[in-house]
Structure formats: structure tokens, C-alpha cells
Amino acid sequence: MYARTNQRPKQRISEVKKFASPIAGWISNRALAVPNGQDGKSQQGAALLDNFIPKATSVILRRGKRRHCTLGTGDEDTTSLFAYKEGANRKLFGTTASTIYDITDVEFATDAEIGTDDGDLIVDENGDSFGWSSTQFLSVMGGFTGGDWSTVQFATTGGVYLIGVNGENTGFVYDGAVFFPYTAGGVSTLAYDAEVSEFTVGDVVTGGTSGAAATIWQVEDLGGGAGVLYIYNITGGPFVDNEPLTDTGGGAATSNGVDAIHIPGVTFPNGLTTAAMSFVWVYKNRLWFVEKGTMNAWYMDIDAIGGDATVFPLAGVLSLGGELLFGQRWSLASGGDGGLSEQCAFVSSEGEVAIYQGLSPEEAATWAKAGTYRIGRPLGKNAFIRGAGDLAIATSVGLVPLSKAIELDLTALSLASISYPIADAWGNAVIQRGLEAWHGEVWPEEKIAAFAPPTGGAGLPPVLFVANTETGAWGRFTGWDVRCMTVFEGRLLFGSAEGGVFLANETGSDDGAPYTGVVVPLFDDFGIAAARKSPRVGRYITRASTTVNARLSWQGDFNESLPAAPDATVLVGGSVWGQGIWGQSQWVESLPRLVNDGWKSLGGSGYTGSIAYQVTSAEAQPLDDEIISAEILYEVAGGIT
């Protein structure tokens, strides 16, 4: 006979799982079956890291985007941004497909029209409305049909110039004050006096004695009937002193001297012009150009922006065909001492790189090919960044340092790429968004490298891949439609659709719209792979400028589908713009840092799990929500025996 015992089941004991701040960043290529940290690589990583910036000690919610200006009437996209910097003369320019604008100082960020309280426009007797344009009177050069500008600043004995080409139209030369066409023969000055009637820009001026003719680029009025004509495309010249000058619009005066070169021009053979050049760079104090749609590079004389260009064909060197995409100087060190000498890299659309060393092809004693390498297909002529002397090129196999391409076979480059932690996401973006028009930029002040893929033909939502340049950790920004980028005066600006130019990582909203940050630490089996876990409560410990309205959720068994984003956190207090008391409150960069660490109920279960965090920002003041760690209090069901 057996005795019956009266035993109660053991009470389940809640256990705690802690997730450290995912400073390893977004990791999309981890084996799902490997718990967080057990592979030795994915410790403190995140399955999702949207709109958070990975730092060395934590991850912090990015700030918003603030509109700097709107180019033109907003009916053209912003195509490029570039700057000119010489001493105190520092200028920022933005372009559309048709026009270049000086956007260094902009009074109004947006266009506006004045209306009534009912929304009706106020108009004059001609039906014209009242208002202002963000970039009215700021256009400096126009009449283009392409806006994909490649620019480089180049110093000569004659001055410091900004050179630009776009592969569609005549290029430009900016001398620090005025944009001029980059043409054969250059731009000349012709002084005049005894003015009878004004000259007109764009008209053809003719010399009554010499028979010389030229197009007027600019008129400088010196007063008293005297001035200077800036002219180009001179034929039948030169102009002579004291000859009558007339233009096709009725302008008339007398020449006061002969024409003189103001901006040297560049001459290509066989009818080529700068309109055929799609990329420009500097190597060994020479300007180099890429001829669009060909395998030809062209170079100038040393320290010269004018003169005859000489072709350097690469069709016989880059055997995979395609076209030459861009060129850059390159070395394994920032300087020649102790490292490789500076070399010239020519990159094709098919992913071949030819490396040459020496001064120029004319120096037979020094000019030689160092090698030809494969890197994967580049994602556009702007899809690279520079780190010291090395180049990191965004390609179909990842963000590849050129220093690795000379050591490894193409098949091994993906593992050596800088973007390897997000290899799956990078590859999907290449497939979905295409192999062209990616743009890369380094923001040294914030230690960020950013790459913007296009939205693609399917109209995908915009995305920006960002990496910490110190730790190599990646994240993803959403909601920023980035078409081009540049860093000016320590601030990152990007161009967007409909003429938008924005300052990155400023304020607490995206041009007035809310945005949501998402963190999902890598999934973990909590050390008991065969047992289900049932979470009870969880919390995130964060520091922010206020008490945040965050949403926490259990994500079981690799489920990345999140609940709806929470409502935006409302900032209150004296430091919030528009709520301060005059004479008592201060407008400060950020509010005091408050710790958020409250527990919240969780539901669900799973063999593996993670705790998601969502927070929405929509105020003028940034939240600066910084994640320190997360914890889950959970119970374990019986395991399989």
C-alpha cells in the first residue's frame, strides 16, 4: 500500500533580466539563435535602434530637424550643398536643378503669403498676393538643367577658387565674391567710360573699331558714366582702347583700355567643354575631372585652373567596363611620413579601383600604376567618406575601406566592411533603393558618419544610416528625406524635397512634426533556452529633460512588430519656449536632466524576448532622452525534460 502525500506545487519565483544600454548599436546580421552577447560580438546591441544615436556610454534620442531655408518657390528638390571657406570669407550654397543660391544668411526659413483670418489671400488690384520668399534675391547663378554638382576648393597664386561641374551644363568658378562660367577663354574685364546708356547682362557687346564681340556676364557700375564689363566667349578680339561699345539691348559707351583676363578658362579638345565633366577633385596640386559616361579622366597643369586639359584614358586599365565615376587622393596615413605616399584613386561604376602614384601622367619617371582592385559596385559619385588618408566607399557589398580592398578578395570584403553589423539591412536597401544617388558625409563635431540611400522607385520611406565614428556602432534615422549633405561651421545641413534645406539634430521636432525613437535590445533566451518566460513588469532607466511619456512592450520570440507609438511628451516649465516668464526664466540649450525609472506592466510570453522602448518628441525644446539600462521582472515556466 502506498502512502499519499499532500504536496503543493512550488511557487514560481520572479527573476530579473537586465539589458545594458545598446552602445554596440543596431545589429541586423546576428544569428537569431545566438542569445545576446554569447557570440562575443553582439553584446549590448539592438535589433532596432531608430532615431537614437549610439554613444560610447549610452544611446540618446536624436534631436529634430530645423528648416534653414526653402530654395526658390519650393517646386524643385534641393540637389546639392557646398561651401567656400577662405579665412573670414565663409559661404554656404544650395542648389536646385536650375539655380544656385547663397544661403549663408537667410532671413525667412519658409515662403509665406499674407492672408485674412478666414484664410483668404490679400491681393492688390492686379491679383498679386503679398508675402515673401525664403531665398528671394539670393540666387547667384541660374539657367541650369542639372543640379548634381561636384565641387572642390582650389588655391592658386591668383586666388582661392571654388570649381564646380555637373555633367550637364557649363561649370562654374567662384572667386570668393562672384560666380563665373568655367569656359574656354575664361572671363575677361573690359573697362568703359562715357556711358550713353546702360549695358545689359546676357547681351552681346561689340567693339566698333576692333569688331570684337563677347557676351556680358556682369556689369560693375563705378558711377560717373564709368564701369567694368565682365565678358566671355570673345570672338574677333581683342577689344581696343577708346573704341565705341554697343550691346544688342542698346547699351553704349567707350572702352577705357583693352580686355584683360579675370578668370582663366579651361580648353578641352574635340569640342568638349566643362559641361561634359561630371566630377572634379584635386591631386598633387592639379585639378582632375571625370568626363561623364566615359573612361576618361582629364587633368590641368599644376596650380592652374586655366589652360589646356590633358586626357588620361582608363578604358584599357579598368577591364570590367562601365564608366569612370569619381576620383580621389588616397593614402594609408594622413601624411606621407611613415605611411604610403599620397596616391590617386580612379573608381569605376562597376567597382574597379585603379591606384596610381606619382605627380602626373606627364612625369614618366614617377607616374606608375600601383594596382587595380575590386570593391563592389559604388552607390554613386557622392557615396564615399574620408577618414584621415583612407577612403570608405559605399558599395553593393557594404561600406568598404579602400585600405581593405588592397588586402582582400572581393568575396571577403563584406566581412571587413565598416557596415558589417548592419549587413542585412544595407543589402536590402541596395536591392530596394538602387545602386545610385547615395550620399555620404562625416560630421566630425558629433562623431557621426551618415549615409543616405534614395527612396527608390517604390516610394519607400526615407532613411538615414548613421554610425559613431569612434565606436563603429550604427543606428537608423527615419523621417529625414536626405538628398544631399554638407557640414558648415560645425553644423550638419541636408537638402530635401521641394527645396528644403534643414539643420540636423536641432530642436525637438522634425520641422514641426513629431518623431518617435525606438529601441529593441537584441533578443535573449535569458540563459534558459527551452523554457517560456512570462514578463510581469519592466522599466527603462533613462535621463531626459523632463519626465517622458514612454511606451514599453514585451517582444517575444523575435517579434519586431511594435504597438502604436506613444503620444508626444509634453514639456512644461520656465525653460520651454513660449512658457517662460520675462526676467525670471532663461532660454537654455537643454532642461535639467531628470531620471526616469518607473516600472510598467508587461504581458505576453516567449522562449526568447526583449523589452521595447518608444518615445515621441514634438516640442521646440529637445527631449535628449538618454538610455542607461532596462530591466524585466519575469517568471519561468517549466522546461522540457
Could you give the percent of the chain with pLDDT greater than 70? 87
pLDDT digits (tens, 9 = 90+) for 108-119: 877 655 555 555
The lowest-confidence range among 158-162, 363-367, 412-416, 527-531 is 412-416
In a shared domain, residues 243 and 350: no
Whether 136 is in a domain gets the answer: no
Which pLDDT value is given to residue 116?
52
Which pLDDT value is given to residue 410?
78
Give the amino acid at 577: W
Whether 509 is in a domain gets the answer: no
The C-alpha atoms of residue 636 and residue 641 are separated, in whole angstroms, by 14
The C-alpha atoms of residue 359 and residue 362 are separated, in whole angstroms, by 8
CB neighbour class for 638 (10 Å; exposed up to 12, middle 13-18, buried from 19): exposed
CB neighbour class for 25 (10 Å; exposed up to 12, middle 13-18, buried from 19): buried
Name the domain boundary from 415, 431, 465.
Answer: 415
Give the amino acid at 233: N
Name the domain boundary from 244, 261, 278.
Answer: 261
Which pLDDT value is given to residue 337?
45
Whether 127 is in a domain gets the answer: no
Could you give the percent of the chain with pLDDT greater than 90? 78
Name the domain boundary from 238, 261, 284.
Answer: 261
Mean pLDDT of 199-218: 97
Give the Å distances, CA to CA, from 426 to 451, 464, 466: 10, 11, 12
What domain range is 609 assigned to? 15-63+514-636
The C-alpha atoms of residue 12 and residue 162 are separated, in whole angstroms, by 72
Whether 300 is in a domain gets the answer: no
Instruction: Output the nine-digit C-alpha cell for 477.
Output: 534615422
Query: Average model confidence (pLDDT) for the chain?
Result: 89
pLDDT digits (tens, 9 = 90+) for 266-278: 999 999 999 999 9
Which pLDDT value is given to residue 230?
98
Instruction: Give the number of domains in the chain.
Output: 3
Mean pLDDT of 509-519: 97
pLDDT tops 50 at residue 143: yes
Closest Cα to residue 102, out of 148, 71, 131, 146? 71
The C-alpha atoms of residue 137 and residue 152 are separated, in whole angstroms, by 25
pLDDT tops 60 at residue 24: yes
In a shared domain, residues 245 and 327: no
Whether 439 is in a domain gets the answer: no
Whether 560 is in a domain gets the answer: yes
Which pLDDT value is given to residue 584?
41
In a shared domain, residues 254 and 343: no
Parallel, antiparallel or unpaired: strands 307-308 and 266-267:
parallel
Which pLDDT value is given to residue 411?
74
In a shared domain, residues 246 and 328: no
Which pLDDT value is given to residue 120?
55
What's the number of CA atoms in the CB half-sphere (13 Å) around residue 640?
4
Whether 374 is in a domain gets the answer: yes
pLDDT digits (tens, 9 = 90+) for 29-75: 876 666 665 555 556 899 999 999 999 999 999 999 999 999 998 89
Whether 150 is in a domain gets the answer: no
Q: How much is the pTM?
A: 0.90
Buried-exposed string 87-118: b where 16+ CB fall within 10 A, e elsewhere: eeeebbbbbbbbbbbbbeebeebebeeeeeee
pLDDT classification of 339: cutoffs 50, 70, 90? very low
